[in-house]
Structure 1
Amino acid sequence: MPPPGEKVRRKTPHRTPQHGKPRKPEPAPLPPGLAVREAAVRLIAAVLIEHHSLDEVLAKELTSSPLEPRDRALARLIAATVLRRRGELEAVLTPFLEKPLPARQGNLWPILLAGTAQLLFLDTPPHAAVGLAVEQTRHDRRARNFDRLVNALLRRVTREGAAALEGVDAAKLNIPAWLYARWERAYGPETAHRIAQAVLAEAALDVTVKSEPELWAERLGGIVLPTGSVRLHSSGRIDALPGFEEGAWWVQDAAAALPARLLGDVAGRTVVDMCAAPGGKTAELAAAGAKVTALDLSAARLGRLTQNLARLKLEATLVEADAAAWNPGHTFDAVLLDAPCTATGTIRRHPDILHLKREGDLVALAELQSRMLDNAANLVAPAGLLVYCTCSLEPEEGAEQIARFLARNDGFERVAIEAGESGISPDWLTQAGELRTLPFHLQSDQPQLSGMDGFFAARLRRRG
């Protein structure tokens, strides 16, 4: 007992001067490579589970990411490989599961797909692919109880995955059945299979140059294609390549660069580029000396187009409007309509299309294209040209669209596109004289330099 009159002093726990609470221990640093894999899995989940486009989630996920550019590129590569090879990946993983995974699993399945893609297609060392996938699982609140399952499954993929893929038809396995069947009906079994094989390859980087393609091919470490585009052997950071800052070139697939050239010499002529953003065709027309009006429904996309034109030091009049209804009160010497479509010709660059598009989308898109085409026709001056194009492989969005248009518009006639024009190969032309590029066209002895987007284009003239 303390002496009478002496107060008892109770011991109190040590408190921090700022908050009065014990300091929490610093979190352990993430294992090297984990942040990249987590970014890749978020991209995969955003496409496969939340049904967002890959470009959309890339802009949100990686633009503000603390990852270094090289790590951002790796995250995108892992995600794109999963989206491109999902059929094969699931063909390997699913038989290894003794029972279905629970509905509430967090990102467990995207983690497994990403790990399997690294093991089978990206030459990632097994200890890294497996170990980081297990760590990812432990960091996922809903998936953390499955860390042992992930370890066991991916180790089995390491041992047996390659053998499980022997003899499978990868081209057919990775394409949705409805889409593959459409290609078989439109092009025949052999061509359909070649298309499916081609879209499994990562697309090369093509650029359109303002002038001197041979010079820029040398400076950029690429080759000049027969069409005049420059194809690079490797990409890296686009904004770090020679000529980017001074606006000497812009990124544009070789096939996408062809429709604007079908208008011929546009110097001094008035041309409207409908559905213009992000602006590759607008830039082509402006660089060729046309007086360009660039039309788009989206203010955000027009903002990006403005930035692109500023970098390229090119000018155009920008209009925010609906291409299906816009009426400026006068006509133009030429109109270019690159209509919204299913974009099935661009799967090499946008593998998320395999998982986001549905056959039912065609009906609404074909109707929209028809309305846009009719309005575009109203904007063409007598004897003027109208070029209609889509980056789709589907006949309803190409040749059939033009056939229907000509049937209801006797004031227009088809102007056949000729072999050799703008470097166009005879193999890229239909009997009607329309452009029909396929993903396996433009072959090279170097596979990484082969292929092009699937594009359709038709050239029409308004009768004088």
Structure 2
Amino acid sequence: MAETPGLPARRGALKLLDAVLRRGETLDQAEKAALGGIKGPADRALARAIAGETLRWLTDFDALIDSATKKRLPEDAKPRGVLRLMLAQWLRLGTPPHAVIATALPLLSGGPRRLAHGVFSTLTKREVTLPEAPTLPDAVRMRWGGMAEDIAAGLTDPPEVDLCLKDASETASRAVAMGAGSIVPGHLRMPRGTPIERMPSFEEGAWWVQDFAAQLPARLLGDGGGKRVLDLCAAPGGKTMQLASQGWQVTALDISERRIKLMRDNLARTGLEAEIVNADALAYRPAKAFDALLLDAPCTATGTCRRHPDVLHRIGPRQIEEMVEVQRALIARAIDWLPEGATFNYAVCSLEREEGEEQAAWIDESFDLEPLPITADELPDGIAPTEQGWLRTHPGRLPAAGGLDGFFIARWKK
């Protein structure tokens, strides 16, 4: 008997959810095992879209499910998981209810199938709707405090695609040619869903994909003028390419051979140059002095929640504490290499104070460095530095332009 068309994508989406919520994996980590048996890129993309929207709106979907059951379903009950997928398809992806039922209920059997059918039918008859913005999990909302409401407003939809241009002087002409928007010179924003390899001038190497917030740490180092910079934890190379295009002599260090291969490929495609070092930063000893050092440190990456909503559900105090220890070891190591007059930029794509503001305060207290405040005239309209001269971005910033990732950036001079 032939399998229901569309069922493999729903089964794959359910496996992705289980990997994130039960095993704490990222969507990217889970994809190979969960979607390996699915034929065709369209069905794999659909599975990712269903799982992504389920995680983005999970708290609201659970509230709807609980409103239609006499007894609350356990968190890990399979009918709850299937109902979450059903609501994501209906309320977020616009799938007609009859198609949702036909492709989701085969994932269950017996009583659980009847239960899921009954709950979904009740909710469709009520014509339920979602709030204007996703409701954050309680633990996340408490951690993000006063930023939480604004951040949630920026999570409603997956983000568009940001590009960083090799030559900022070409911004206006390439924006017209590619039908793109732009926040500042050197940046383009493309509608999501456009295959990267099919975008104009991809093979030419005129640009690379990089969220606008992720472009700011290197932008804040300014023009290199032939000076030396060490880009720590550099792969897959977005900041390395930025720095090279800004006139720096770049040494790019990373511990991952796989990610370094991606960096080599990106450098080759764009025609930009950098010295690449495959090493553990905690064991590395630079043979020369650098005029600047950029540490975009490993972190919980909660600032990427627009495109990776799994971080809303798998990051907690333990993961944050582990990352803080790694960051402090790297910070101490990097500062030890700074010669007199050198600049140190610290950045993380995290929304957690422990990884951002508290790390900057620790650096101020623990090392003989002079703060180098970030100023408003270095930033686009709509983004301002903090009182301390640090920079905090989050998905609720620049709403008219489509938002940006969450980043923390601070800098000092030796």
Both structures adopt the same fold (TM-score exceeding 0.5)? yes
Distance in 2, matches of 1:65 and 1:230, equals: 33
SS of corresponding position for 1:201: coil
Q: Which residue of 2 aligns with 1:114?
A: 85
SS of corresponding position for 2:342: strand
Q: How does 1:145-164 map to 2 (within 5 A)?
A: 146-160=112-126, 162=128
Which residue, 249, 257, 270 being the options, matches 2:228?
270
Distance change in 2, residues 1:118/1:213 (3 Å) = same
For 1:152, the aligned partner's letter is G
1:450 pairs with 2:407: no
Q: Which residue of 1 aligns with 2:255?
A: 297
Distance in 1, matches of 2:323 and 2:192, equals: 35
Q: Check the 8 A contact 1:389/1:455 in 2, yes or no.
A: yes
Distance change in 2, residues 1:92/1:103 (3 Å) = closer
Q: Which residue of 2 aligns with 1:284?
A: 242
Q: Tell me how far 1:62 sits from its aligned partner.
A: 5.2
Q: How does 1:80-229 map to 2 (within 5 A)?
A: 80-99=52-71, 107-137=78-108, 143=109, 146-160=112-126, 162=128, 171=134, 174-184=135-145, 188=146, 191-211=147-167, 212-226=170-184, 228-229=186-187
SS of corresponding position for 2:340: strand
1:255 pairs with 2:213: yes
Distance change in 2, residues 1:394/1:227 (3 Å) = farther
Q: Check the 8 A contact 2:382/2:398 in 1, yes or no.
A: no
Which residue, 226, 248, 273 being the options, matches 1:315?
273
Q: How does 1:361-440 map to 2 (within 5 A)?
A: 361-410=319-368, 412-421=369-378, 423-425=379-381, 427-440=383-396
Q: Which residue of 1 aligns with 2:47?
A: 75
Choose 73-82 or 34-43, whichever is displaced more.
34-43
For 1:334, the aligned partner's letter is A
SS of corresponding position for 2:345: strand
SS of corresponding position for 1:383: coil
Distance in 1, matches of 2:159 and 2:32, equals: 20
For 1:91, the aligned partner's letter is A
SS of corresponding position for 1:294: strand
Distance in 2, matches of 1:461 and 1:64, equals: 52
Q: Tell me how far 1:428 sits from its aligned partner.
A: 2.4
Q: Percent identity?
A: 40
Q: Tell me how far 1:397 sits from its aligned partner.
A: 1.4
Q: Which residue of 2 aligns with 1:44?
A: 17
Distance in 2, matches of 1:136 and 1:350, equals: 25
Q: Tell me how far 1:60 sits from its aligned partner.
A: 5.2
Pick the structure with greater CA Rg: 1
Distance in 2, matches of 1:122 and 1:323, equals: 44
Q: How does 1:21-32 map to 2 (within 5 A)?
A: 28-32=1-5
Render the CA deviation track for 1:214-256: whole Å, top value 9, x for unaligned.
Answer: 2222222211113641111343211121122222111111111
SS of corresponding position for 1:223: coil
For 1:450, the aligned partner's letter is G
SS of corresponding position for 2:142: helix
Q: Check the 8 A contact 1:227/1:424 in 2, yes or no.
A: no
Distance change in 2, residues 1:335/1:231 (3 Å) = same
- Structure 2, unmatched stretches of 5+, are none
TM-score where L is the length of structure 1: 0.82
Q: Check the 8 A contact 2:165/2:171 in 1, yes or no.
A: yes
For 1:95, the aligned partner's letter is S
RMSD: 2.4
Q: Tell me how far 1:145 sits from its aligned partner.
A: 5.7
1:235 pairs with 2:193: yes
Distance in 2, matches of 1:123 and 1:104, equals: 26
Q: Which residue of 2 aligns with 1:15?
A: none
Q: Check the 8 A contact 2:166/2:270 in 1, yes or no.
A: no
For 2:64, the aligned partner's letter is V
SS of corresponding position for 1:328: coil
Q: Check the 8 A contact 1:209/1:216 in 2, yes or no.
A: no
1:55 pairs with 2:28: yes
Distance in 2, matches of 1:382 and 1:269, equals: 14
Q: Tell me how far 1:317 sits from its aligned partner.
A: 2.1
Q: Tell me how far 1:49 sits from its aligned partner.
A: 2.4
Q: Check the 8 A contact 1:217/1:232 in 2, yes or no.
A: no
Distance in 2, matches of 1:405 and 1:129, equals: 53
For 1:279, the aligned partner's letter is G
